[in-house]
Amino acid sequence: MNSHPQPHAAILDIKPYIGGEAKAEAARLHRLASNENPLGPSPKAMEAYKALAPDLHRYPDGSSHALREAIGSVFDLPMDRIVCGAGSDELLGLLIRSYAGPGDEVIHSRHGFLMYPIQTRLAGAQPVSAPEADLKTDPKAIIGAITPATKVIVLANPNNPTGSFLTAAELRNLHAHIPSHVLLILDSAYAEYADHPDYDAGVSLVNEFSNVVMTRTFSKIYGLAALRLGWAYAPDHVVDVLNRARDPFNVNAAAIAAGIAAVRDAEHVARSVEVNNRMRPWLARQMEQMGYRTYPSLGNFLLVSFPPHNAEDVRLFLKARGVLVRQMGAYGLADCLRITIGDEADMQAVVDGVRAFQIENPAE
């Protein structure tokens, strides 16, 4: 007999998610481990957040009506097909738990976001990892992994942590091979950074088909990670399921107020994209000139492979200098580091740190 209550077995199979580091002993800290916006939130969003202080004793609008209205206006989407959540993580979890359970399978790409298998196991379902081709989602592998037990396929596009993406044509071809009863979730957390003519966040597929959902976040380009805010665009029947499954006040009032201001501040979004488009290729060139491989990225981060050096040695060396980047061992990419794209000072600190590491650790 156990002497205390026991969770169901699937819970004990979960390895807790560990986020990027945020602290180090250094005079100047460069936080480049969590893909945060180096410009911070929109000043208008900060004003809206502060203005809410006198009403903290009031419950928020349980339907997030004004926020959904703002999102719908900015993205030209019907607000009734939008559901808001406490980060896109909450919505992804609700979707997986609502459509998959014991005996079911959820397919994700090999180097996809770690929360996908975690949420799958939480639902009691079995995560299925589909191989990738040169760190890019392989549609053929996804299709080949589909079985009668498959209930959900969840893909990040662009993908975190690799930065790779499927084109609109590749997504459409993939969907054509997915059974209509299988839910395809497109996690488009980095869509605002994906400045490429062949990229599609997923809106067109949601508009055309009844088994596609797109999720988005306010944690990245909008700089509201601390408030935990995200949204989903889905067919009516999926919206109905999400509204049944979510908590009644799942989005707090401060997040709603800040989110409305943030999504309407097109100037701040444009500045954020400009910084990313300028600094990401600059950092890639610097890393490649030092002999390291970088992978093409449409996100606000860069995946860098560090052989012949040990990536963890590089990370710890940078940390000692106050530069925090993300280790990739949990993603099966132990020879890589993921570096968030910051401002000029951030990126120069990375380059200076890596150069200093090379001087102290010459390749044999």
**CA neighbor of 269 nearest in space, from 226, 225, 222:** 222
Q: Is the pLDDT of residue 12 over 90?
A: no
- Which band of pLDDT confidence, cut at 50, 70 and 90, is reported for residue 18? confident
Please tell me the predicted confidence (pLDDT) of residue 22.
67
Please tell me the predicted confidence (pLDDT) of residue 29.
87
Please tell me the predicted confidence (pLDDT) of residue 10.
76
Is 304 in contact with 357 (CB distance < 8 Å)?
no
Please tell me the predicted confidence (pLDDT) of residue 23.
72
Q: Is the pLDDT of residue 251 over 80?
A: yes
Q: Is the pLDDT of residue 70 over 90?
A: yes
- SS3 assignment, position 98: helix
**CA neighbor of 85 nearest in space, from 62, 107, 66:** 62
215, HSE (Cβ side, Cα atoms, 13 Å): 29
Q: How far is CA 117 from CA 101, 105, 106, 154, in A?
A: 13, 10, 8, 10
Q: Which of 12-26, 34-48, 249-263 has the lowest mean pLDDT?
A: 12-26
Q: Is the pLDDT of residue 16 over 80?
A: no
60, HSE (Cβ side, Cα atoms, 13 Å): 23
- Which band of pLDDT confidence, cut at 50, 70 and 90, is reported for residue 1? low
Q: What is the mean pLDDT of residues 137-141?
A: 97
For residue range 170-189, list pLDDT tens digits in order: 999 999 999 999 999 999 99
Q: What is the mean pLDDT of residues 331-358?
A: 97
Both tokens of 190, joined, read 């980095």
Tell me how far apart the terminal alpha carbons of the chain are, to the nearest angstrom.
58
Domains of the chain from N-terminus onward? 9-40+267-360 (3.90.1150.10), 43-264 (3.40.640.10)
Residues 135 and 114: their CA atoms lie apart, in Å, by 15
Q: Tell me the whole-structure pTM to 2 decimals.
A: 0.92
State the chain's mean pLDDT as an integer. 95
SS percent in the chain: helix, strand, coil, step 5: 45, 15, 40
Please tell me the predicted confidence (pLDDT) of residue 235.
98
Residue type at position 121:
R
The residues, any chain, with a CB within 8 Å of residue 168's CB and separated by 6 or more, are 198, 199, 200, 204
Please tell me the predicted confidence (pLDDT) of residue 317.
96
Q: What is the mean pLDDT of residues 313-340?
A: 96
Q: Is the pLDDT of residue 49 over 70?
A: yes
**CA neighbor of 231 nearest in space, from 248, 209, 245, 214:** 214
Please tell me the predicted confidence (pLDDT) of residue 128.
98
Please tell me the predicted confidence (pLDDT) of residue 111.
95
Q: Is the pLDDT of residue 63 over 80?
A: yes
Is 173 in contact with 204 (CB distance < 8 Å)?
no
Residues 301 and 338: their CA atoms lie apart, in Å, by 7
Q: What is the mean pLDDT of residues 71-91?
A: 97
- Which band of pLDDT confidence, cut at 50, 70 and 90, is reported for residue 363? confident
For residue range 285-303, list pLDDT tens digits in order: 999 999 999 999 999 999 9
- Which band of pLDDT confidence, cut at 50, 70 and 90, is reported for residue 26? low
- Which band of pLDDT confidence, cut at 50, 70 and 90, is reported for residue 262? very high
- Which band of pLDDT confidence, cut at 50, 70 and 90, is reported for residue 229? very high
Q: How far is CA 256 from CA 7, 127, 171, 227, 297, in A?
A: 34, 33, 31, 9, 30
